[in-house]
Amino acid sequence: MSEQEQILFASINNSCYFKLCGELRYTNATGMDDLIERLFSSQITCDQVVIDLNQATFIDSTYVGLLASLARYCQRQQLPKPTIFSTQIEINELLFGLCLDQAFQIVQQPTNLSSGKVPLDMTSVPARSYTEQEQGNMILRAHQALIDLNDKNKAEFQPVVNLLKQQLK
């Protein structure tokens, strides 16, 4: 992962902050996937989730699916909708096009996290070393979360999910 592609995370007073920078692709998603798995397994406690995408330059469907997983976590825990901050026009078009505004509060403005001043306790999340099978399972889980959001996504991504299930057997 280069300087531009990074995941920063902080948990402050049970609020979880994610700052995602650079090109967000399945090839560099293992750290984010691991962080989400730790959330689901209650290793990290969150009462509120905030995601800053202001310095993201690209996001693929796997990463959007990981974001959908965060929304599902909040729904299951009966927490408020997670908040996404994004001023990137292309990324916002993708988020709205995949109906993420149904599961997130999307705020199209900068955050104080975007100013370059990162809270001292915000740490960089390293990529994890996944086997090909583990990476395939991550991509499958992410796309499953994406199709679980709504029927439009189901129509668009169900063939991908079916193919992944077939290949992972």
What is the distance between the alpha carbons of residues 11 and 50, in angstroms, rounded to a whole number? 10
Q: What is the pLDDT at residue 120?
A: 52
- 3-state class of 75 per DSSP? helix
H-assigned helices in the chain: 30-40, 61-76, 89-97, 132-149, 151-168
Residue 126: what are its φ and ψ, rounded to 5°? -75, 155
Measured CA angle at 56 (ends 55, 62), to 5 deg: 155
Q: What is the pLDDT at residue 114?
A: 44
- Report, as ranges of residue numbers, the positions in the chain whose pLDDT lies below 70: 1-5, 112-120
Q: What is the pLDDT at residue 1?
A: 40
| Residue pair 64/98 in contact by the 8 Å Cβ criterion | yes
Q: What is the pLDDT at residue 13?
A: 86
The model scores a pTM over 0.85: yes
Give the length of the chain. 169
The string of DSSP letters for 133-168 reads HHHHHHHHHHHHHHHHH-HHHHHHHHHHHHHHHHHH
Task: List, in order of start, the domains of the chain with CATH numbers.
Answer: 6-128 (3.30.750.24)
